Amino acid sequence: MRGFTAGLLLLSAVTIFTAPPVSAACTLPNGTFDSDVSGWSNFADFDAGRGNPPGSNHVGPVPISNSGNSWSDCMLVAPGDACTLEAEVLFPTGENANAAAQLGILYYSDATCSSFLSLEVAPGVSNSVQEVWLPTSAGSVVAPAGAQGARISLNVIAGPTQTANANWDNVLLSTQPVESVPVPMLDPSGLVLLAGVLALGGLVALRART
């Protein structure tokens, strides 16, 4: 019985230490804008006609040579929280070139998102392609040391000659544990085997010389 209990304890310990980290912070309310832009502020403007499927967050018009952001409400995070961040963006027709959009996440050192800490962004998306939903991803984003709050940023950047507009949809923050890059290493038995091969090689070389 003691052995059985010890086994259970060992199994529990193994379960605890091998379970992947699950971040409660990797959830974003209303990233699909099905019926409104609740949970988003600043440039947040609901567009019922556009979307993939219908319903999206229209950001704009952003003034010439400026940038405008729609921000999600402040989310609670903890240092080390790792999530993947992705979305889709569409530039309407009739926009001049030189406008762009960029998905990002802002981290704050407080739970009300008032003290900015750092920013992670996806590569910028050019508006050279219009009326097409373009996927964009910031990949895996990790809350830095000291982070307590975070906001998603749906950014639109206007060029020097015309205001800019873009629609955002399917903003998704999901649990994605950061996988460490495996370092190629030989295990001890491999090292023994390697030592044996080297010794044999040396022996063969010596015999060939004599």
Binding site for Ca ion (CB under 5 A): 32-33, 51, 55, 169
Q: Which is nearer to Ca ion, 51 or 149 (CB)?
A: 51
Closest CB 175 distance from Ca ion, rounded Å: 22
Q: Which is nearer to Ca ion, 95 or 169 (CB)?
A: 169
The tokens 């900015």 sit on which residue?
A: 116
Q: Which is nearer to Ca ion, 50 or 158 (CB)?
A: 50
Q: Which is nearer to Ca ion, 55 or 149 (CB)?
A: 55
Q: Which is nearer to Ca ion, 79 or 135 (CB)?
A: 135
Closest CB 27 distance from Ca ion, rounded Å: 17
The CB-nearest residue to Ca ion is 51
Closest CB 93 distance from Ca ion, rounded Å: 19
Which run of H or of E encompasses 141?
strand 134-142
The tokens 């996927």 sit on which residue?
A: 135
Closest CB 87 distance from Ca ion, rounded Å: 11
Looking at the chain, the number of H-run helices and the number of E-run strands are: 2, 12
Q: Which sign, positive or negative, has the C-alpha torsion 57, 62, 65, 71?
A: negative
Closest CB 32 distance from Ca ion, rounded Å: 5
Distance CA(73)–CA(81), nearest Å, equals 18
Name 84's bridge partners.
140, 174
For residue 170, give every residue at least 6 positions away whose Cβ sits within 8 Å of its Cβ, in sequence order, or none: 31, 32, 52, 86, 87, 88
| Residue 39 one-letter amino acid | G
Closest Cα partner for 23 from 115, 143, 134, 112? 143
